[in-house]
A and B are shown apart, each in its own frame.
Chain A
Amino acid sequence: MLSELPLLSLVVWFPILGGVAVLFVGDENPGRAKVLALTVAIITFLVGIPLYSSFDPATAAMQFQEFMPWIPAFNANYHLGVDGFSMPLILLTAFMTVLVVIAGWEVIEYRVAQYMAAFLIMEGLMIGVFAALDAILFYVFFEAMLIPMFLIIGIWGGPRRVYATLKFFLYTFLGSVFMLIALIYMYNQANSFEILDFHKLPLGLTEQILIFFAFLLGFAVKVPMWPVHTWLPDAHVEAPTGGSVILAAITLKIGGYGFLRFALPIAPDASAMLDWLIITMSLVAVVYIGFVALVQQDMKKLIAYSSIAHMGFVTLGFFIVFGLYRHTGSLNGAAMGVEGGMVQMVSHGFISGALFLCVGVLYDRVHSRQIRDYGGVVNTMPIFAAFMVLFGMANAGLPGTSGFVGEFMVILSSFKAGFWIAFLASFTLILGAAYTLWLVKRVVFGDIGNSHVAELQDVNNREIVMLSLLAAAVLLLGVWPDPLTSVMHATVDNLLQHVIATKL
């Protein structure tokens, strides 16, 4: 019975309609708006659970498909479906939105209903991005996402919010319009906007390279990869806590997902030819951005740069397959790279979200994000300090936490492709530990820094709930990643078979 429900449509549209309903409750009734928003977010997450429990991990085919003609003139359809890549990310989105609603509970006082509605609508659109199997539908969700995020940063953000949000919007908009042209071009060849038809579309090498660059522009900005990452620190610093969480935990993943869904399978030969470019960009992100993170004075900026470095691992894991195949002649270990990238995406969603929430907890009390304004927080906030240390360790990639699993898999895989790639990638273990632990040391430990810190109240129940949910997720994924990796084996194998077969 459950499988007959249009589950995907429900998780896409229920939060959007719920968001509209929250808007109608209005800013005059903040209490009711908050309760309604939380209910909608929780129900969406519950509705999403059958996506996991009824998921068939043995097949790489799309599941829970829904199909409806939409714009017949251009053969664009309302076509939804999930595989092992998109399903975990949908659940991650639904999970993080619940936390974000809780995180904004007492903190947001200005226009509460609009705030909650923006996040719910954002949730629906992001799930739509992951669930869309039609390229135009994907593009529509992908672009529409910009509006709520633009408003979230701009209305509830910090002092330089207008600059940050405009930069965010225009950067992403610029990246994605070229993708639109690539999609239209492929439609002219395939006479269909089905993403799966694009996968099968034979394309010449020049076409593939141009299409690859169009996707690269669109998704590299989203990930963000060095050197188009500069919008991220600005956006993160200025965004309200919830906005930073969603940006780091979900929207960055959309870039990585885009590589898996579009760039790799549509332009496999171009990807194989240009994998050095992506790998170089990823390694620069890991090493150079790691050093940049080391010198940050602003906690949010530090986590933002750490996000860029960690996302470098994701793209590295996705593109290591070609070098590995060239080097060893077999696909052994390649699946580990892609799966490692996927695990890293989910794990980074939890960890970066958690770290931003921790910063938010401090910011709500002291109203400063500067590291030098803290010190010795453990003396006044012991429970909070425990959480912060845990998430810091996870960010540094300590075994037993989810941060370790993904990085370890990617490094193992890259060893097979070449020693120096693995060598440079392992820098993250040193640098990540350095900037994270140094941050924790300066903020949490030591003597009480100033009178503000001396007056701090420890986390309340609401904050404990949201932090422990994340801590449980981080630890569970760290010691037992199988529930996550098992659903994507088939999908990953299918992708790898597809990308090493030439289209020429």
Chain B
Amino acid sequence: MNFVAPDFMPVLPEIFLLTMTCLVLVIDVFLEQRQRHITYGLAQLTLLGVALLVLLTYARAPTTTMFGHYVKDAMGDLLKFCICLASAAAFLYSRDYLRQRDLFKGEYYVLGLFGVLGMMVMVSAHSLLSVYLGLELLSLSLYALVAVDRDSPVASEAAMKYFVLGSLASGMLLYGISMVYGATGSIDLQVVADAVARQGTNDLVLVFGLVFLVVGLSFKLGAVPFHMWLPDVYQGAPTSVTLYVGSAPKLAAFALVMRVLVDGFGNLQGDWQQMLVILSVLSIALGNLVAIVQSNIKRMLAYSTISHVGFLLLGILAGTPEGYSASMFYIIVYVLMAVGAFGVVILLSRTGFEAENIDDFKGLNDRSPWLAFVMMVVMMSMAGVPFMAGFYAKWVVLQAIVDVGLVWLAIVGVLFSVIGAFYYLRVVKCMYFDKPERNELIEVGRDVEIAISANGLLLIILGLYPTALMTWCSTALLN
């Protein structure tokens, strides 16, 4: 058998990332604690390097490599670019937090970088095997990251729950993959797609496999009723890890759904559309309703994530190119909001104090008007109030489903966003209408301040002129 070396050029960013991560791992071993900022700097450089490489090699047309297991296309490149930036922002925001809690260690960055690699593999997966590989690389890094604070019983419990439920989900996914393989004889998504087009809905094994795939994906997305791990992990993990878990992996999960359901099972759209309708309605309803009663802001944001996942699924289930690009726009804007929200939460936490409860935001306008403003922008954007990017995200998704005649779904969506507006407003209420309970100054590093300001302003700029990103999303999906 001849060995033909595959074309390595399309995976250049991933190779660079892997090399650098190993390098960081080795260098970190030889550093003393006071030199740990070198690890941090290298990790940031790596992420920026990868982002740059992705942009430089931006795909005009899709190319597959690694014997059809891997694809490089514009959608993947855009998502990878956002993943790198979101992770870099997460590293930046959490630096001081980790330092104050004696968690400023190499593991956080190495695991984080491996997680990024996993996400990039997921984004570019072109076979069910690389889907699974990427997913596990990401998940294993996340399990370890959640437990990175070994002395915290809450974090360990969260990590344990996450691990058990995540493994269950992986099992479901694998089971689904095996059925699909049995029905189509291949794990290459292109071959699967052809087989699906031939065999269609009559193949019971294939539809059965699809059900298991959807269940596995919903676990990873956190859609109701497979959401149970999400609030516990968000609340239990150190805020720096919540920030990481809650942002970039959502982009990868979106890519996963696109690759498997749209690229692989596009011809069974009628079948998975019905499943997604149930998942999304339940997510939007439960996420928004349960978030109202939360007093812990991390848990509240977890339920808000669930409701946003419901909205994301709305765009996908429309099953049109407009719907997919709407969902992509939605998830990118969502990640921008999530990074900002957890960023403010983490900046309020000081040595020996976790800003975990909504009450900790009381009187923020008196303590730091600018941070309060950024948080208000993020909250209003999540609620979908205009002149914030979040409104356009909701609008394009609604537009996509009204387009395919599902007006009732749009009405359910907007009704629950009104209910959802309440808990976002409650945060604004605490920041602006209440008197502060604590008065110590909030010290924020110059670089972090610039980043969080840019984060908030970007939400307004995208709100005034969303066209650029919208066009980028729709052209990325077209080729």
Q: Which residues of A contact B (CB under 8 A)?
A: 27, 70-74, 111, 114, 136, 139-141, 143-144, 146-147, 150-151, 154-155, 161-162, 165-166, 169-170, 173-174, 177-178, 180-181, 184-185, 187-188
Give Cα A136–Cα B386 distance, bound, in whole angstroms. Answer: 10
User: Given B411, B422, B466, which contacts A71 in the complex, CB threshold below 8 Å?
Assistant: B466
Question: Which A residues touch B365, using CB under 8 A?
Answer: 111, 155
Are A181 and B432 also in contact (CB < 8 A) when A73-B467, A140-B387, A188-B402 are?
A: no
Q: Is the CB of A177 within 8 A of B429?
A: no
A162 near B429: Cβ-Cβ < 8 Å: yes
Within 8 A of A (CB), among B380-427: 380, 385-387, 391-392, 395-396, 398-399, 402-403, 407, 410-411, 414-415, 417-418, 421-422, 425
- Measured CA separation A162–B380 after assembly (Å): 17
CA gap between A421 and B415 in the complex, in Å:
36
Contacting residues, chain A, for B402 (C-beta < 8 A):
181, 184-185, 188
> What are 22 of the A-B contact pairs (CB < 8 Å)?
A71-B392, A71-B466, A71-B470, A73-B467, A73-B470, A74-B399, A143-B386, A151-B428, A151-B432, A155-B433, A162-B433, A170-B425, A173-B418, A174-B418, A177-B417, A177-B418, A181-B410, A181-B411, A181-B414, A184-B399, A184-B410, A188-B402
Closest B residue to A136 using CB positions: B395
Tell me if A178 and B432 are in contact (CB < 8 A).
no
Smallest CB–CB gap between B327 and chain A, Å? 14
Give chain B nearest CB distance to A139 CB in angstroms.
7
B474 within 8 A of A: yes
Cβ–Cβ < 8 Å partners of B432 in chain A: 151, 154-155
> Hey, which chain B residues are within 8 Å of A136, CB to CB?
395
Contacting residue for A143 out of B385, B467, B474, CB 8 A = B385
Q: B19: CB under 8 A from chain A? A: no
B471 an interface residue at 8 Å Cβ cutoff?
yes
B-side interface mostly: helix
Given known contacts A177-B417, A184-B398, A166 and B425 CB-to-CB distance under 8 angstroms: yes
B407–A177 touching, CB < 8 Å = no
B398 pairs with A73, CB closer than 8 A? no
Q: How many interface residues does chain B have, given as a range?
A: 20 to 34
In the assembled complex, which residues on chain B have CB atoms less than 8 Å from the CB atom of A177?
A: 414-415, 417-418
Chain B residues, CB < 8 A from A147: 380, 385, 387
Additional A-B contacts beyond A150-B428, A173-B385, A184-B395 (13; CB < 8 A): A73-B467, A143-B385, A146-B385, A147-B387, A151-B432, A169-B425, A170-B418, A170-B425, A174-B418, A180-B398, A181-B398, A181-B402, A184-B398
- Residues of chain B whose beta carbon lies under 8 Å from any beta carbon of chain A: 365, 369, 380, 385-387, 391-392, 395-396, 398-399, 402-403, 407, 410-411, 414-415, 417-418, 421-422, 425, 428-429, 432-433, 465-467, 470-471, 474
CB < 8 Å neighbour of B433 from A71, A114, A139, A154:
A154
Output the least CB separation between A24 and chain B (Å): 11
- Are A140 and B410 in contact (CB-based, < 8 A)? no
Asked whether A178 and B387 contact (CB < 8 A) given A72-B467, A166-B422, the answer is no
Residue of B nearest to A181 (CB): B410
Closest Cβ–Cβ distance, residue A178 to chain B (whole Å): 7
Complex Cα gap A184–B380 (Å): 22
CB <8 Å contact, A139 and B418:
no
Residues of A within 8 A of B417 (CB): 177
B-side contacts of A141, CB under 8 Å: 386
Q: How far is the CA of A41 from the CA of B413 in the complex (A)?
A: 39
A70, B467: Cβ atoms closer than 8 Å: yes
Q: How far is the CA of A136 from the CA of B391 in the complex (A)?
A: 11
Chain A residue at minimum C-beta to C-beta distance from B429 = A162
Give bound CA distance, A177 to B407, whole Å: 13
Closest 5 CB pairs of A and B: A177-B414, A140-B386, A144-B387, A143-B386, A154-B433
CA distance A178 to B465 in the complex (A): 24
Contact yes or no, B470 A144, CB < 8 A:
no
**Nearest-neighbor residue (CB-CB) of A71 within chain B:** B467
Q: Is the CB of A143 within 8 A of B391?
A: yes
The reply to whether B474 and A73 contact each other, CB–CB distance below 8 Å, is yes
